[in-house]
Amino acid sequence: MTDIARAAGCSQATVSFVLNNTQGIRLSPQTRERVIEAARVLGYSPPEMPALRAAVPSSMLDGTIGFVVDQLATSPEAVVAIEGARQASWDAGNVLLVAQTMNDAVMEPRAIQSLTARGISALIYMTIFTREITAPEFLHDLDIPVILLNCYTADRAFPAVIPSEIAGGQRVTHHLVEHGHRRIATITGEPWMQAAQERLAGYRRALATADIPFDPDLVVEGDWSASAGYAATRKLLSLNERPSAIFCQNDRTAIGCYEALKEAGLRIPHDISVVGYDDEEISRHLFPALTTAILPHLAMGQWAIEQLEGAPRAGRGRHPITKLECALVERDSVAATPERR
């Protein structure tokens, strides 16, 4: 929808209203035709699901799926995962009910109890930060399938899906190496977080594979914010030998990095290449557009729904942890070193 909105010269919301044939929205025939034509040119076709669902008798619907997440407002990842689950649920004629729990020891079990009282046939349990959890006892007691999203347990009692962060960090760094960069800096997230640890591990693995010595001066700790990216970039530029490329471990950090580089009179990517991570909407609109890695929460939400077919009841058996690829999105913020040009 983002691509279609850009091509049609309208908002993503307008594209959604047109493609889903939303009733009660007054859009001109010209706007509708422009959106449909942009979709056709880009190779997309309007979904047939609304009409299909209307034709399916309610007795044939498979049921209602519960989705609980500890936090919704801190970042877009939870909403993206919910959208992936929603798409896959609706494809099968299921309804998705969502609850935010804030990981509260009292309210979380009450929220899940409220969902089960409404007859959910399965539960997706998500955490906003990727991590190992100790599953609450009430999850083991549920008589429905439970899927963990962005988290996992040591005993592997539930099917789980997380991003493949080490491979993602390695792929992003390797992309810079492929362009001839050897002095590659990275601005990390908060070190206690698994995502930051694994992206850094992937960065180090890519350097080792390319026989590039690890330089701790090129690693600056951040906190995922634009202000931290700005401060960290200024620190990197103060080194006797500045880096030729900077791996920002999320896109918000890259925003601050861009500002610091431009303030210093440096051109991206001619003077310094920059890569991000997460593929947030802002990455498409930075100038130059930011090369980044996709955080696969949409695919993770879809995967979670797909696993429910034939899934065992909660806490039964031992299950693998599935890791989904953080694919690289190449845009305009990386260039070859002078030696490679």
In the predicted structure, residue 301 carries a pLDDT above the cut 50: yes
At 315 the pLDDT is 63
Least confident of 50-59, 100-109, 192-201, 224-233: 50-59
Query: How confident is the model over 177-194, as a mean pLDDT?
Result: 97
Q: Which CATH superfamily is domain 2-47 in?
A: lambda repressor-like DNA-binding domains (1.10.260.40)
Least confident of 50-59, 198-207, 208-217, 320-329: 50-59
Among 38-52, 136-150, 159-173, name the most confident range: 159-173
Class of domain 165-295: alpha beta
Nearest CA to 5 out of 36, 35, 46 is that of 35
Residue 305 pLDDT class (50, 70, 90 cuts): very high
Q: Label the pairing between strands 160-163 and 120-132.
A: unpaired
* Cβ proximity of 242 and 236 under 8 Å: yes
* Cβ proximity of 333 and 273 under 8 Å: yes
Query: How confident is the model over 75-79, as a mean pLDDT?
Result: 88
Give the separation between CA 33 and CA 29, rounded to whole angstroms.
6
In which residue ranges of the chain is CATH 3.40.50.2300 found? 62-162+297-321, 165-295
pLDDT digits (tens, 9 = 90+) for 259-277: 999 999 999 999 999 999 9
pLDDT digits (tens, 9 = 90+) for 36-64: 888 888 888 655 434 334 433 333 235 89
State the average pLDDT for the chain.
Answer: 90
pTM, entire model: 0.82
Q: Which runs of consecutive H residues, i.e. helices, occur in the chain?
A: 2-8, 12-19, 29-41, 49-55, 77-91, 107-117, 137-141, 165-178, 194-209, 226-237, 251-263, 297-306
In the predicted structure, residue 139 carries a pLDDT above the cut 80: yes
At 29 the pLDDT is 85
Query: How confident is the model over 97-112, as a mean pLDDT?
Result: 94
CATH architecture of 62-162+297-321: 3-Layer(aba) Sandwich (3.40)
